[in-house]
Structure 1
Amino acid sequence: YLKLCNNLLHGTPELFDKAQVILGNLKQRHDLSPDSETMALVIKACSVSDREDHEKVLATATEIFSQLVAQEVTENSALALTDGAYFHMMKCVHNYMGNDDAKKERIEDLFSEACQRGMCSANVLSMFRNSVSDEEYRLTVGKGRLADKWIQNVTSPLAQKVRYTDGSKGGKGKHAQRKGKSTSGWVKKQKVREATIEARRKGKQAKKFYKKV
Structure 2
Amino acid sequence: MIPLSAEDLARFKDYNPTRFSFLMLKLQLNGDWIYLTDRDVPVTYAGATYVPGYITSESIGDIEITSEPATNDVTVTLDARDRTFVAYFLQEGWMNGSATIYEQFADKDGVILTLNIFQGFVDSRDLIPEKQKIDVVLASVWADFEKQSGTKTNSGSQQRYYPSDTAFDHVARAQRKIYWGKPAPVTTTATTTSGASGSGIFSNPNSEL
Higher relative contact order (CA 8 A, sep 6+): 2
TM over 0.5: no
- For this structure pair, what is the TM-score category when the shorter chain's length is used for normalisation? under 0.3
Compare the two structures and name the one with the higher helix fraction. 1
Higher percent of residues as strand: 2
Rg larger in structure: 2
Q: TM-score, normalised by structure 1?
A: 0.24
